[in-house]
Amino acid sequence: MQVHHQWDQDEPGGIVAMMTDLMDGLASNGHRVTLLASDWQSPRPSECTDRTGRPYLRLNLAPMPPRLSNIKAMLGWLWRFPLAVWRLRCLCRDRCIDVAQLHYADALYLVFVALRWLGGPPIVVTVHRGDVMSYPTMPSLRRWGYQRVMGGASAVVAVSRALAEQARAQSAQIRRLVVIHNGYTPPFDRLLDRAALAQTLGRPLPEQFATLVGNCRPYKGQDIAVKAWAELAVSGVDLPLLVVGGGPDLEAMKALSVAHGLDRQVVFTGPVSRQMAASLTALTLVQVAPSRNEGQGIVILEAGFAGTPVICSDIAPFQEMVDDGVTGHMFPSEDTGALRDKVLAVLADRETARRGALRLRDRIVRDFSRMGMVRSYENLFAELGRFSNGRLD
């Protein structure tokens, strides 16, 4: 049995998709999965269902205060922490938990490390972009907890080789570091057609358009795309760009596009479902991914499965999936002129772009499928505990 951390509505959509695919894949292979969320209002395990109807448990895992100087908070944590370990121990015993799979490396999960010292299940920590990139700015006590979690894990999984290198540089205490790329299988059986998309968006879709899928955050580089589209407009190119996703910088990006006179050429859809994002990716002329950094990049997988041409920045995680000039186009990160030129190249030779997209699809289907990811986790779990395919001892 596996323990999973439950997400909230603010977590990046790619991580939610990865967690959902992993849990569903394990369940379809005959494994029982327990989904656990930390909730300070649940001193004992309580059963709930999320917004999709998926059952899960909530339990206060006693989050660590950010600073030692807060004496009252520290005393409260020192009192709650052993209670949380005890209740988690009872939960793992009652449900025959064999492996604890934790998404994110966070001081919150010290409770699992303490349980492991008491004979609890082995711990697998999957690190993503957010926890690794935010480590340098964590308060010192949280950094200490982060290091204890990374060192207490039986294995740390990074979703790309580039992220693994960053994690290793941050924590020499990691016992075992494994790279398991996120897998993805689009909902091809539920893709929306143009009419349905237009109805949902409340506007007709352009005959041809480009897409940029991702929450509006600085690292996603929507500002880079807006500036490149301003340069395209100066060149007389009229290719609408659909920026697909919500995020904290959505209004700022809208204002930037208006400031560049692109209120008609750049359209912001706001938050959309996974189904709608995949549907737009399947219909677009080209998927643009100008990210400044990523853990891996689900958008590349989405475009690859759809056979959609890709233009992406040359950051290391993208280079693990895209070969420039072979399976897609890459441009130097932050270079708006280079992005403009790559868009012009796709428009000038669509047949070459299409052939590259088909080669990308072959690679993504072969190396980045959902079931490939699930098998990799199954193999890792089997090495660490009593986890076996279709049956738990």
3-state secondary structure 44-65: CCEEEECCCCCEEEEECCCCCC
pLDDT of 157 reads: 96
pLDDT of 281 reads: 94
Low-confidence ranges of the chain (pLDDT < 50): 1-12, 388-393
Nearest to 115 by CA among 70, 139, 83, 161: 83
pLDDT of 104 reads: 84
CA distance 180 to 256: 37
pLDDT of 184 reads: 80
A 10 A CB-CB count for 219 gives: 14
SS3 content of the chain, % helix, strand, coil (to 5): 50, 15, 35
pLDDT of 6 reads: 41
Element (H, E) at 95: none
Class of domain 188-367: alpha beta
Alpha-helical runs (H) found in 99-156: 110-117, 129-134, 140-152
pLDDT of 14 reads: 57
β-pairing, 286-289 vs 210-213, is: parallel
Domain spans, the chain: 2-183+370-392, 188-367
| Superfamily for the 2-183+370-392 domain | Glycogen Phosphorylase B; (3.40.50.2000)
β-pairing, 391-392 vs 310-313, is: unpaired
